[in-house]
C-alpha cells in the first residue's frame, strides 16, 4: 500500500510538470474535411497562433472522407499524449445518430478541449437557376419535384443537415448530392453541376459578391453583418428556419488533463483576443471558447438535440 501511495504521489507531482513542458515537439491538428473549408481555415489560423505562443509547430493534416469518420477515427486511435488533435464540427454530433456503425464513439474515445467558433450558413444557387429569390426557388422546386439538387460535403455534415431541414420546412423534394469534401461541393455549385448549396457564410460570401452565385438567404435568426442586404431564410419564405456550423477541438481520450487544460487556456486566449474577435466578426464567425466541462456538456446536448432530427428525416448511413 505504501508503494502504491508513493507511486500515486509521484504521478500527481509529475502531472503539472508535464503541462509545463508540453509541447516539446510538433503537434498535428487533423481536419477530417478537405482543404478550403471553415474547419481547415480556422485550424490553420489557430495552429499558427499556438505555434507562436507555445514555441512548437502545430501542423494541419487534412484527412477527408466518410462523413468525417476517417480522420476522426485516426485521431481516436492516436496516442493520448496531446500531439494529435482533432478539429471537429457539428457533423460529429450528428454522426452519433446518423451512422449505424462507427469505429469510435465520440464521447468515449475523444476528450473535449474547447469550442472554436460558430457562423451562419448561406443558401446559394447557380446563376443558371431561373430563380432570383427564395420564394421563386421554392416555387420552382415544387413545380419540378426531384429535378433540382443540392450539394453537401457528405452525410451528416452541417450542409447536409441544413439542406434536409430546408426540404422538410419548405415542403420541397430536391435531391441530395454528397461530395467527399466541402471543396468538391463548392466546385460542383460553382460549375453548375448542382443547383443549390448551403455553405458557411465565411467561405461562400465572396462568391456572391463576385456574382458567381446568387444568394437566396442566410440561416441565422437575424441578418448577417457580412451580407446585410440578404434576408434570412426565415424572413424570405421559410418561417422558423435556423441552422449553422460550429467548430471545436478534441483530443484522444486519456490525454492527461493538465495538457487538455493548457490547450484549453491557450486556444481560448487566441480566439478571445479583441483583434481576432473583430476580424472573425467581419467574416461572420463568432468565438465560442468554453471550459473543458462546458464544452463536454455542449457536445452531449448537441448529440441529443440532433437525434430526433435524424430520425424524422429517416436518414441512416451504414
Residue 126 in any domain: the answer is yes
Q: Which of 260, 245, 144, 128 is nearest to 194 (CA)?
A: 128
Q: Which of 210, 236, 262 is the last residue of a domain?
A: 236
227 & 258 share domain: no
Residue 187 in any domain: the answer is yes
108 & 249 share domain: yes
Exposure class string for 88-121: b at 16+ Cβ within 10 A, else e:
bbbbbbbbbbbbeebebebbebbbbbbbbbbbbb
pLDDT score for 208: 97
pLDDT score for 216: 98
109 & 206 share domain: no
251 & 108 share domain: yes
Residue 131 in any domain: the answer is yes
157 & 214 share domain: yes
Q: Look up the CATH number of the domain holding residue 37.
A: 3.40.190.150
Q: Three cell numbers at 172?
A: 420541397
**Chain-centre distance of CA 311, in angstroms?**
21
Residue 90 in any domain: the answer is yes
pLDDT score for 9: 55
In order of 159, 180, 252, 286, the CA distances from 116 in angstroms are: 18, 23, 18, 8
131 & 203 share domain: yes
Residue 49 in any domain: the answer is yes
141 & 161 share domain: yes
Q: Which of 203, 236, 269 is the last residue of a domain?
A: 236
Cell match 421563386: residue? Answer: 136
pLDDT score for 182: 82
106 & 208 share domain: no
Q: Can the peptide bond before residue 299 be classed as cis, meaning omega within 30 degrees of 0?
A: no
Judge contact between 226 and 205, C-beta under 8 A. yes
Q: Look up the CATH number of the domain holding residue 213.
A: 3.40.190.10
**Chain-centre distance of CA 159, in angstroms?**
10
In DSSP terms, 175 is beta-bridged to 149
107 & 249 share domain: yes
How many domains, the chain? 2
pLDDT in tens, the chain (318 residues): 556 555 555 555 555 566 679 999 999 999 998 888 899 999 999 999 999 999 999 999 999 988 899 999 999 999 999 999 999 999 999 999 999 899 999 999 999 999 999 999 999 999 999 999 999 999 999 999 999 999 998 888 899 999 998 998 999 999 999 998 788 999 999 999 999 999 999 999 999 999 999 999 999 999 999 999 999 999 999 999 999 999 999 999 999 999 999 999 999 999 999 999 999 999 999 999 999 999 999 999 999 988 988 887 787 787
Q: Which of 215, 236, 257 is the last residue of a domain?
A: 236
Residue 10 in any domain: the answer is no
Structural domain harbouring 176: 121-236
Alpha carbons 231 and 226: distance in angstroms, whole number: 12
Amino acid at each position: 500500500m505504501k508503494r502504491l501511495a508513493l507511486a500515486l504521489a509521484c504521478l500527481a507531482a509529475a502531472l503539472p510538470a508535464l503541462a509545463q513542458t508540453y509541447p516539446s515537439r510538433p503537434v498535428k491538428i487533423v481536419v477530417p474535411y478537405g482543404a478550403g473549408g471553415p474547419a481547415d481555415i480556422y485550424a490553420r489560423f489557430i495552429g499558427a497562433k499556438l505555434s507562436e505562443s507555445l514555441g512548437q509547430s502545430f501542423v494541419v493534416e487534412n484527412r477527408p472522407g466518410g462523413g468525417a469518420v476517417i480522420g476522426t477515427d485516426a485521431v481516436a486511435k492516436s496516442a493520448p499524449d496531446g500531439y494529435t488533435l482533432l478539429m471537429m464540427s457539428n457533423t460529429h454530433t450528428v454522426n452519433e445518430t446518423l451512422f449505424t456503425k462507427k469505429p469510435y464513439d465520440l464521447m468515449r474515445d475523444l476528450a473535449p478541449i474547447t469550442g472554436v467558433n460558430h457562423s451562419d450558413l448561406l443558401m446559394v444557387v447557380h446563376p443558371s437557376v431561373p430563380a432570383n429569390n427564395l420564394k421563386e426557388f421554392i416555387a420552382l422546386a415544387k413545380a419540378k419535384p426531384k429535378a433540382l439538387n443540392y450539394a453537401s460535403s457528405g452525410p451528416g455534415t452541417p450542409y447536409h443537415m441544413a439542406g434536409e431541414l430546408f426540404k422538410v420546412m419548405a415542403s420541397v423534394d430536391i435531391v441530395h448530392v454528397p461530395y467527399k469534401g466541402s471543396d468538391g461541393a463548392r466546385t460542383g455549385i460553382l460549375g453548375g453541376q448542382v443547383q443549390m448549396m448551403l455553405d458557411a457564410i465565411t467561405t461562400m460570401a465572396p462568391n456572391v459578391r463576385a456574382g458567381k452565385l446568387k444568394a437566396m438567404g442566410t440561416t441565422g435568426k437575424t441578418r448577417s453583418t457580412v451580407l446585410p442586404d440578404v434576408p434570412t431564410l426565415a424572413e424570405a419564405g421559410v418561417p422558423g428556419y435556423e441552422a449553422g456550423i460550429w467548430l471545436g477541438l478534441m483530443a484522444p481520450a486519456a490525454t492527461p488533463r493538465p495538457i487538455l487544460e493548457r490547450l484549453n487556456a491557450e486556444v481560448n486566449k487566441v480566439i478571445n483576443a479583441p483583434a481576432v474577435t473583430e476580424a472573425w466578426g467581419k467574416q461572420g464567425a463568432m468565438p465560442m471558447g468554453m471550459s473543458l466541462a462546458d464544452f463536454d456538456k455542449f457536445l452531449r446536448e448537441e448529440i441529443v438535440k440532433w437525434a430526433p432530427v435524424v430520425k424524422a428525416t429517416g436518414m441512416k448511413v451504414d
